[in-house]
């Protein structure tokens, strides 16, 4: 069984990609919705949450786990891995490999505030290619907006707000944009409209592609979805985003 972890609905797109690539694999998705958004928390608290999530996957018997949360990947992947005591992968390394392969020079990284402060994506990029010029831009309100259904690509108010947040990125004149939070995929049409012609790299898509290459499609193709709070709210947000198959049942396990 392959586990996928995120704080909310963002990782569901990683889950969808894995279901398409590995149709017979048994999958377990866990969203820590009780403590969303992770990106607004302190590093110490993020590490604690990561340990507790890792312990949950160990208890559920997952064979390996894909952390779809950019914030945990940046700040607490080692803690998650130690608690889970099984193979765990994050979203940073696969995304960095794809960006490096493209040959771009100036990379704008959009992520949560905690991820941006960590400079994890920046260091990973320049560690692979010192000639790359990265700029991390924290977008603290993007995840709450998305979780509450505000991601319509034709919403002028949303586009105006996103334009204000990303103004420093427009001045930066990037060759590529790396979405360092899996939630941000839902804002990609609006982001692309502000950066015409600039390619977007989604850390979640990159992670799913990388994992699908190493895993075999075996099992019964089952899907289990678990949250730590608000299953009805989560299901509504997921359906609004078109990120879960119809009829999916969402369980709630409560906080650790």
Catalytic residues, by residue number, are: 69, 181
Q: Where are the alpha helices (DSSP H) in the chain?
A: 12-21, 43-60, 70-75, 77-84, 92-102, 113-118, 120-128, 142-147, 156-165, 167-172, 188-194, 203-214, 231-240
Look up residue 159 and give its two tokens. Answer: 């586009």
Phi first, then psi: what are they for 69, rounded to 5°? Answer: -90, 120
Cα–Cα distance, 235 to 227 (Å, whole number): 10
Question: Coil, strand or helix: which one is 1?
Answer: coil
Phi first, then psi: what are they for 156, rounded to 5°? Answer: -65, -35
Pick from 26, 30, 25, 24: which is nearest to 12 by CA?
Answer: 30
């Amino acid at each position: 069984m392959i586990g996928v972890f995120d704080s909310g609905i963002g990782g569901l797109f990683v889950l969808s990609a894995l279901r398409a690539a590995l149709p017979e694999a048994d999958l377990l998705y866990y969203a820590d919705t009780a403590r969303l958004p992770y990106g607004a928390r302190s590093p110490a608290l993020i590490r604690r949450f990561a340990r507790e999530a890792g312990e949950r996957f160990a208890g559920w018997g997952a064979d390996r786990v894909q952390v779809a949360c950019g914030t945990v990947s940046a700040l607490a992947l080692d803690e998650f891995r130690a608690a889970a005591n099984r193979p765990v992968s994050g979203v940073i390394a696969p995304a960095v490999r794809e960006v490096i392969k493209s040959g771009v020079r100036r990379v704008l990284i959009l992520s949560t505030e905690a991820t941006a402060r960590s400079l994890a994506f920046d260091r990973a990029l320049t560690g692979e290619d010192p000639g790359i010029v990265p700029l991390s831009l924290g977008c603290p309100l993007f995840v709450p907006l998305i979780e509450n259904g505000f991601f319509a690509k034709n919403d002028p108010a949303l586009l105006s707000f996103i334009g204000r947040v990303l103004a420093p990125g427009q001045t930066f004149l990037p060759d590529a944009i790396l979405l360092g939070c899996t939630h941000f995929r839902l804002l990609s049409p609006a982001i692309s409209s502000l950066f015409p012609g600039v390619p977007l790299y989604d850390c979640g898509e990159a992670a799913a592609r990388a994992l699908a290459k190493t895993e075999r499609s075996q099992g019964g193709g089952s899907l289990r979805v678990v949250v730590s709070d608000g299953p009805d709210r989560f299901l509504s947000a997921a359906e609004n985003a078109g990120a879960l198959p119809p009829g999916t049942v969402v369980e709630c396990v409560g906080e650790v």
